[in-house]
Amino acid sequence: MVSREKKLKRELNKRAKKFMKGDTVNTKNIKDKKTKAHVRYANVLADNAATDAALHEKWLLPSTPGAIEVEGDERTWRIKQDEIMKAVDINAARKAFDLSLPTLGPYSVDFTPNGRDLLIGGRKGHVAMIRWSDYKLVTEVQLKETVRDVKFLHNGQFFACAQRKYAYIYDNRGLEVHCLKDHTEVNRLEFLNHHFLLCTVGDQGVLRYQDTTHGKIIAQHRTKLGPCDAMRQNPTNAIIHLGHSNGTVTLWSPNMGHSLVKMLCHRGPVRSLAVDMTGRYMATCGADSQVKTWDVRMYKEVHSYYSAVPAVHVDISQRGMLGVGYGGRVQIWDQALSGPKAQAPYLNHQFRRGEIVRDFAFCPYDDAIGVGHSGGFSNLIVPGAGEPNYDSMIANPFETRNQRREQEVAQLMDKLPPEMIQLDPDGIGVVRAVPKEVQKERREKALEAEMAARRDKREANLEKTRMKGKNKTSKRYRKKQANVVDDKKLRARMLAEETKQKAAKARGEGGRATGGGAEGGGAMPAQTAGAASSAPVAPKDVSAALRRFYK
């Protein structure tokens, strides 16, 4: 009979296994006592973290994701929005609504990371910010310019718009705060939350990173692949994925002027792409009528779906649902990223005649998808799309004003430097060998610096050829200094050393070769021809005067 406590403990351990990161380090063989204690403590912390996480999962994450259950021959994708609306509670039913804005152009959509605010930007310059909790209009502006993309910055206080010529930043009152004149002809915007970087790419095919805390441009990378209209970030490592017109997807960090990875995904231009929350899978759609999912860790294709009409937009929800939009239709696919290939969509929505989908985004922490189309904006209910449990320290959908302020400060305190962005998010702090070229470069640099210092000193010591005042104290001191090994001497010395080493090496090789030759029966004349003489090698401590007698 196992006691209840033990049972619970066992269960907890089982749960904790899921949260363990890597194996426990064996401390037995560590010699250094301090290190041993340190590593042991690190082990304890790791264990505790996993157990804590397991406990949290058990008790504090009780909400289960939504789902649609069908019986018998029914298929979920046959179920229409109004049927879903009838089935769900009032609060959820409220989420299905349409904004009819037929003349203001197709809309692009964005949500804040906590899903508290919604931003829609019509192509013809209509930008509106809506509070998601009560669907209240916060701000509405007519920019009277083409708006190509809209994006919230770190919270609902500011948002960026890619307009006709430049990108702009507005605050939540709709007032223009900044005009980003460096970002010209922007097509897509992206914001890296942990790094406070606004990324833009556009017709010039230049990827720009601008820090929104101090306003400096961190990096500008020329993709050299023409105009770009597809950009997404990988939420786990803040790498930017770009889709290009030659069918490739490139991965960028602000540190490297060259793409980190370049993969050929489609035969036609890449229309849109999306990366899931775990950072493992990427979905792309191209003009070649393919929708593909990729394992970004391996850079391998997982599935390739075929759509009769090329899809214009893809997005992945927090729980890994794949949204695909084409024509006047949006399809949601569940479990289509990995595992066995999905056979049918999870949900399917056809907009009214003439409403062509342009952009959509899943609402974080909510079972909804906001679709921007030519007829305005529509919100659809997608049961099970959003993460049901939230961490108010990370993103709080019910954030109050004070919480938002606190959060903002915390975010700024936790801001990561852009240099930290790299493909492997665990790569910080690990041992990384320096390549030979870099080492050489460093050595050369150090040598150069030293030489320069010595040269400066020597030049300062060089006195003019003047007869008068030769015996001044300062002059005498300088003369003394001239005896110091200056750069010329050092260089000569190094050169001598080098030649000596080379000679020694050559001798060594030659000796070996002659030895071999002797065994073979007689020395090879050509091999010894270069040698000066057969004199013995000079011992180390021999004086300069005697050196000529040696080799």
Partner 1 sequence: MLESESDEPEEARANGVADLSEEDDDDDEDGEEMDEEDDSEPASAEEEEEEDEEDEEDDEEEDEEDDEEDEEARAALVSDVVGVPRADKRRRLKRGITEHGREGEFALGPAVGSANETDLTDPGAPPGLSIASLMASVEGQGAAAAAIGSARRRLDRLANKKATPDAVPLPRVVNERIERKAAYETTKADIAKWQPIVKENREKPTLNFVGVERDKMHRKKTLASINTDFVPENDFEKEIMAHLKEANALTGEDVERAEDLALNELTPEEARERRARLAKMRNLLFKHEMKAKRVKAIKSKTFHRHNRKTGAMKVIDGETGEEIGDDDAALEGLDPDNSVEAKREYLRAQERMLLKHKNTSRWAKRAIKKGLAHLPGTKEAIAEQLRIGQELKRKIGIGGERGASRDDDDDEYSTDAETDSDDDAPGVVGGGAGAGDVNDRRRALAKAKLRTMQAIEEGAAGAEEEGGLFALPFMARHMKKKREEAEEEAKQLLRDIERAEREAAAGAGGSDDDEGFGGGLGDGDWGKGAEKFEETDDGVGQRRSRIVSFGGGVTAGGGGPSGNAKPKRPPREDGSDSENDGGPRELGDDVDDDDEDAAIDRNETKMKRGANRAARRAAAAGEAGDPLAAAQVPEVSGPATHPAATVTVHQSEVKELTAAAKKSGSALKARMAARASGRGAVVVTAGPKPADRKIDMAMDRDDDDDDDAKNHPASNGVADLNQRDLLSRAFAGDDVVGEFEADKNAEVTDELPKVDVPKQMPGWGGWADVQAKRGPPKWQLEAERKARATQQKALKARRDANLKHVVISERYDKKVAGFNVEHVPHGFDSKAVYEGSMRTPLGPDANTDKSFRDLTRPKVLVNAGAVIRPMTFPKGRRPKQKE
Give residues 1-30 in contact with partner 1 (rule: CB under 8 A).
21-25, 29-30
Is there a contact between 88 and 42 (Cβ–Cβ < 8 Å)?
Answer: no
Cβ neighbours of residue 221 closer than 8 Å, sequence gap 6 or more: 206, 207, 208, 252, 254, 256, 257, 258
C-beta of 33: minimal distance to partner 1 in Å? Answer: 9
Residue 443 found at the interface with partner 1 (CB under 8 A):
no
Chain centroid to CA 289: how far? 28
Give the integer Cα–Cα distance in Å for 348 and 335.
Answer: 15
Residues between 152 and 171 with contacts to partner 1, criterion CB under 8 A: 164-165
Of 202, 247, 323, 370, the one binding partner 1 by CB under 8 A: 247
Residues between 342 and 401 with contacts to partner 1, criterion CB under 8 A: 342-345, 348, 350, 353-358, 373-375, 391, 393-394
Question: What mask of x and - would describe binding to partner 1 in positions 282 to 301, judged by CB under 8 A?
Answer: -----xxx-x-------xx-
C-beta of 78: minimal distance to partner 1 in Å? Answer: 7
Of 1, 2, 430, 532, the one binding partner 1 by CB under 8 A: 430
Q: How many residues in the shown chain lie near partner 1 by CB under 8 A? A: 121
C-beta of 436: minimal distance to partner 1 in Å? Answer: 8
Q: Listing from the earlier edge strand, what are the strands of the sheet with 217-222?
A: 186-192, 197-202, 206-211, 217-222
C-beta of 248: minimal distance to partner 1 in Å? Answer: 7
C-beta of 353: minimal distance to partner 1 in Å? Answer: 6
Give the integer Cα–Cα distance in Å for 332 and 348.
Answer: 6
Residue 335 found at the interface with partner 1 (CB under 8 A):
no
Q: Indicate the residue among 438 and 496 with the shorter CB distance to partner 1.
A: 438
Helix or strand (DSSP H, E) at 118: strand 117-122
Residues between 216 and 245 with contacts to partner 1, criterion CB under 8 A: 226-227, 245
DSSP annotation of 470 reads T
HEC string for 231-295: EEECCCCCCEEEECCCCEEEEECCCCCCCCEEEECCCCCEEEEEECCCCCEEEEEECCCEEEEEE
- Interface stretch with partner 1, choices 337-345, 452-460, 480-488, 519-527 (CB under 8 A): 337-345
Question: What mask of x and - would describe binding to partner 1 in positions 493 to 522, judged by CB under 8 A?
Answer: ------------------------------
Q: Indicate the residue among 391 and 459 with the shorter CB distance to partner 1.
A: 391
C-beta of 305: minimal distance to partner 1 in Å? Answer: 5
What angle is formed at CA 472 by the lines to CA 469 and CA 477, rounded to 5 degrees? 130
Sign of CA dihedral 15, 17, 20, 25: positive
Of 84, 110, 116, 125, the one binding partner 1 by CB under 8 A: 125
Residues between 180 and 209 with contacts to partner 1, criterion CB under 8 A: 205
Residue 70 found at the interface with partner 1 (CB under 8 A):
no
What angle is formed at CA 163 by the lines to CA 162 and CA 166, rounded to 5 degrees? 85
Residue 538 found at the interface with partner 1 (CB under 8 A):
no
Chain centroid to CA 73: how far? 44
Q: Is 445 exposed, middle or buried (0-12, 13-18, 19+ CB in 10 A)?
A: exposed
Question: What mask of x and - would describe binding to partner 1 in positions 73 to 112, judged by CB under 8 A?
Answer: ----xx-----------------------xx-xx------
Residue 32 found at the interface with partner 1 (CB under 8 A):
yes
Residue 407 found at the interface with partner 1 (CB under 8 A):
no
Is there a contact between 247 and 270 (Cβ–Cβ < 8 Å)?
Answer: yes
- Three-state SS for 397? coil
Dihedrals phi, psi of 259, to nearest 5 degrees: -65, 140
Q: Which single residue is written with the structure tokens 């970002």? A: 183
Residue 451 found at the interface with partner 1 (CB under 8 A):
no
